Amino acid sequence: SLREKLWQRVEELRRGIEALGWSIPAEPSTILPLIVGGEAKALAMMGQLREAGLFIPAIRYPTVARNEARLRVTVSASHSSDDLQALLESLAR
């Protein structure tokens, strides 16, 4: 039942992120990388999300190539639809 709930949440978030215009990998995963480009932009977005009460870490060089910094979104079965909606609303801003 938890596995089923997890994959429902993953699909819900994937649909929402794609609706916002983000490009995400085709294969389903509980980790969604949102590539933002520059390190400064990724860090700024991470800070804004943190201020909104969301912990979405920025992954940057040297972990990933320069100018391919990303936000690492991890979905769990304990996330609610409201949690996902809060993230989507913050990303839309």
Handedness of CA 22, 10, 46, 65 (dihedral sign): negative
Token code pair at residue 12: 């819900």
Output the domain CATH number for residue 37. 3.90.1150.10
For the stretch 30-62, pLDDT in tens is 999 999 999 999 999 999 999 999 999 999 999
Answer whether residue 87 shows pLDDT above 90.
yes
pTM of the complete model: 0.88
CB neighbour list of residue 76: distance below 8 Å, 6 or more residues apart: 6, 9, 30
Q: How far is CA 85 from CA 19, 36, 59, 60, 69, in A?
A: 12, 20, 22, 25, 23
> What backbone phi and psi angles, to 5 degrees, belong to 70?
-145, 165
| Full domain range(s) for residue 16 | 1-92
Six-digit token pair at 10?
Answer: 């993953």
Structurally, the chain folds into a number of domains equal to: 1
Residue 42: the pLDDT is 97
